[in-house]
A = this chain, B = another copy of it.
């Protein structure tokens, strides 16, 4: 799916500076090294830095020195820390590397965009969300190939003709493609609404299903089979992770929850009415699932199930192409 791009960025890419070497940031560093891309990193924890250095990574605990190096080399800075750690990190970026391209790997984009804007860093910011596993954490959990065939959402809220922003957008897309991810463009609000529906909502619902079954006592748990097993799998995720991602996307998740509550309330009312039936709901749900399945063949081997759009960054109308791609959920390639 990667095009053999003739652009200078691809043949001699600028370095990437990853701030925070958790599961996502650390795995990104591993993939970029594997792809022979220049990359260096920072982490607050000495033990993480020692572990990463032992694996051959160019890494430091000195944030100021790392950011000055990024500024000198015009590196693309990747914010790889949780949302609560972002304000102080952005303070440092604004002070020591304000002109670098900036992206992030945080799963909700609204808060990040606000913080970046508040820090005066929006002019070269392109948000990112690699949709890959988050259950484990720390350097030991990092791996090559974590993002292969996963969707990497790249935002374009600040899309402008400014060559520096266009260049950053291209760098972010090429970095994502270097990891084997599939790039889908979306603006912040559309992204946050979509992930509320397809990720945060399923997590909240899995918690409710687990609790309801448990309230049925030992017999219910003994009888639970595959429908329960799969429907509650993500309730096995660490509670603090589920809590954090849901609470960071409150507005969009409330909207999605209200729609689900309406559907389940209607189902309850239909069942409580001897003449009520679930015909429409079961047909609608089945149709919706089929539409997802038709789209879900998202690997390189079966790319045709999702629309694919070629984009030339900076060309006339290219931002309209991104908007269109967002509307139809297309993946993109750059040339």
Interface check A178, CB cutoff 8 A: no
Q: Which of A237-280 contact B (CB under 8 A)?
A: 237-240, 242-243, 246-247, 250, 253-254, 256-261, 263-265, 267-268, 271-272, 274, 277-279
Interface check A102, CB cutoff 8 A: no
Contact A271 B293, CB 8 Å, known A202-B227, A222-B151: no
Interface check A221, CB cutoff 8 A: yes
**Least Cβ distance of A84 to chain B in Å?**
14
Contacts of A247 in B (CB 8 A): 271, 277-278
Contact A230 B231, CB 8 Å, known A207-B286, A260-B209: yes
Contacts of A289 in B (CB 8 A): 206, 210, 232, 235-236
Contacts of A232 in B (CB 8 A): 202, 285, 288-289, 292
Q: Which residue of B lies closest to A326 (CB)?
A: B219
Q: Which residue of B lies closest to A236 (CB)?
A: B289
Interface check A14, CB cutoff 8 A: no
Interface check A212, CB cutoff 8 A: yes
**Least Cβ distance of A145 to chain B in Å?**
16
Contacts of A234 in B (CB 8 A): 227, 230-231
Contact A288 B257, CB 8 Å, known A250-B272, A278-B246, A293-B236: no
Interface check A53, CB cutoff 8 A: no
Tell me whether A278 and B243 are in contact (CB under 8 A).
yes
**Least Cβ distance of A46 to chain B in Å?**
30
Tell me whether A243 and B277 are in contact (CB under 8 A).
yes
Contact A264 B271, CB 8 Å, known A218-B329, A329-B218: no
Tell me whether B271 and A254 are in contact (CB under 8 A).
yes
Tell me whether A278 and B204 are in contact (CB under 8 A).
yes
Contacts of A201 in B (CB 8 A): 209, 212-213
Contacts of A85 in B (CB 8 A): none
Contacts of A293 in B (CB 8 A): 236
Chain A contact residues, CB within 8 Å of chain B: 131, 150-151, 153, 184, 186, 190-191, 193-195, 197-199, 201-225, 227-240, 242-243, 246-247, 250, 253-254, 256-261, 263-265, 267-268, 271-272, 274, 277-279, 281-293, 295-296, 298, 306, 326-331
A-B contact pairs, 6 of them (CB 8 A): A198-B216, A208-B264, A214-B291, A239-B279, A242-B285, A253-B271
